[in-house]
Amino acid sequence: MPTPRYVRSMRIVALSASNNGDILMSNETSTPQVEFWRGDFGNSYTERNTATHRQLAARVAMWSDILKPLVGKMPESILEVGCNLGINLRALRALSPATLYAVEPNESARAVLVRDNVLAQENLTDGFAQSIKFPDRVADLAFTSGVLIHIHPDNLLQACEEIHRCSARYIACVEYFSDKPEMIPYRGHDDRLFKRDFGDFWMEHFPDLTVLATGFAWKRITGLDNLTWWLFEKKNSAS
């Protein structure tokens, strides 16, 4: 039987570990989508998105629902991949004493995270989903929120492989949903927003995952942007 692709990826990443084994350096080849968020557009996005009390309350409510199945087995460490100014991390900090980690490609967003003490500076790194500079299983829970939608379909599996590698037990995915893959023009730009059934994508490519819960944050009652979320657990990870 051929080795599943996600296992092959983990082996390749392990070969690229630093000499002391502390940090795993994945393929750092960037993409037009990553450079889009590293540049002026990403800077403007960070400037116009502030962590207001209303936004934070909406995220706290959403994460309360996502974490509900984990009562009694809550993650002690959490990694967000593509956190921007950290609205999700701020919400999680209000709900959990877990150690927080983050990957963010935009320099101005990282400066805000440090300025606001959202997480320890040593737990924040420059990077993107296809190239996460953290060790295997660095966090009990690894997640994205509004990030996979901005990854080109050609790079999506590599990104998910990296997220999977960094998760010790749980993976959460909070994204826009479409029952078929489609590209949506994003603020006048093509090839910058891609919708699909991300839950199905995770299940199709990572057979070691089981679904713990899924939900929908309807904009009319939550104030969030019609977000679909999935919570997965790696099989046998509790042992």
pLDDT at 11: 31
- In a 13 Å sphere around the CA of 207, the CA atoms on its Cβ side amount to 4
d(CA 184, CA 192): 8
Amino acid identity of 35? E
pLDDT higher at 210 or 7 = 210
Domains, in order of start, for the chain: 5-234 (3.40.50.150)
d(CA 159, CA 162): 5
| Count of positions (residues) in the chain | 239
| Listed residue (238, 236, 148) closest to 199, CA to CA | 148
**pLDDT tens digits for range 129-174:** 999 999 999 999 999 999 999 999 999 999 999 999 999 999 999 9
pLDDT at 22: 40
pLDDT greater than 70 at residue 79: yes
**pLDDT tens digits for range 92-115:** 999 999 999 999 999 999 999 999
